[in-house]
């Protein structure tokens, strides 16, 4: 299947490169400020892109145990522009317990990163990973373990979900310092699949689409990757990819967590 469009994305404001239009690094558009007290399961993943100890929030994740979190596999890949392999733990730190992306909370070193063995960097299938921190999180009011959806569970179209993260609040805009939240709806899988087929992208059964089909501007965006889509307090998706940000005809695409419950449990048990 061919890709009909190309775009230029500036990655971390440090370099630019061509990517397939339907797979920019994703991605809260039209969000409102919130606090970590409301979402203590959320973690920041800070990347030292150039190996000079300048760690900047790049992705997000969900705390599952006192040592483990889940995020998107696409965050942890080799990058030809820097010549660095971001699956190596030294390039990352985890911040927990902070409302703000540039300060506060507690920083943790990363012990290991386990991207899903079947991750496909072209089509973003199996876009999930487990991250193990070197020192246990101190669980409390600002740092809590998340609950993930039961295996093989499915959400009905139009189910109301919440996306939270530090991603850009407007298309091509800067990332906010304060945590943001926005409400969106689960989109019918068949509709989402047909829309993305027009640009050569695949919507697999292991993916979940969410957004708004009646209005532009409700979506995740740059910096939200790996963060949680939440339904009634339960994590049902992880921010994966999309076509630009906030286009109503191209909903955001999320890793469907219920498809990976067994893999998550096994990976955590084998990587202490």
Q: Mean pLDDT: which of 1-10, 20-29, 39-48 is highest?
A: 39-48
Distance of alpha carbon 117 from alpha carbon 257, whole angstroms: 16
Among 22-36, 177-191, 208-222, where is mean pLDDT lowest? 22-36
CA pair distance 96, 138, nearest whole angstrom: 10
- Percent of the chain topping pLDDT 70: 82
Residue 184 DSSP label: E
Phi, psi of 47 (to 5 degrees): -105, 135
The catalytic residue positions are 74, 127, 225
- Higher pLDDT: 6 or 221? It is 221
Would you say the pTM of this structure is higher than 0.75? yes
Q: Find, among 77, 110, 79, 74, the residue nearest to 92 by Cα.
A: 110
Q: Residues, the chain, total? A: 272
């Amino acid at each position: 299947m061919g890709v009909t469009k190309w775009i230029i994305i500036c990655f971390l404001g440090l370099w630019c490169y061509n990517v397939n239009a339907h797979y920019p690094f994703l991605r809260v558009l039209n969000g409102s400020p919130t606090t970590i007290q409301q979402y203590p399961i959320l973690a920041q993943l800070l990347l030292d892109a150039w190996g000079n100890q300048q760690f900047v929030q790049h992705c997000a994740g969900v705390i599952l145990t006192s040592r483990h979190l889940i995020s998107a596999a696409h965050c942890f890949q080799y990058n030809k522009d820097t010549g660095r392999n971001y699956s190596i733990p030294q390039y990352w730190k985890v911040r927990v317990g902070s409302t703000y992306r540039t300060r506060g909370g507690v920083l943790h070193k990363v012990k290991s990163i386990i991207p899903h063995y079947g991750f496909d960097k072209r089509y973003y299938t199996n876009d999930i990973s487990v991250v193990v921190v070197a020192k246990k999180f101190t669980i409390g009011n600002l740092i809590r373990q998340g609950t993930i959806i039961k295996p093989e569970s499915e959400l009905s179209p139009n189910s109301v979900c919440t996306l939270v993260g530090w991603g850009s609040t407007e298309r091509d805009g800067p990332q906010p310092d304060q945590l943001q939240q926005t409400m969106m709806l689960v989109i019918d899988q068949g509709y989402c699949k047909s829309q993305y087929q027009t640009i050569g992208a695949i919507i697999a059964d292991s993916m979940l689409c969410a957004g708004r089909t009646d209005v532009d501007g409700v979506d995740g965006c740059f910096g939200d990757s790996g963060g949680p889509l939440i339904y009634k307090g339960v994590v049902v998706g992880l921010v994966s990819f999309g076509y630009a940000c906030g286009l109503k005809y191209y909903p955001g695409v999320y890793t469907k967590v219920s498809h990976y419950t067994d893999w998550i449990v096994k990976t955590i048990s084998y990587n202490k």
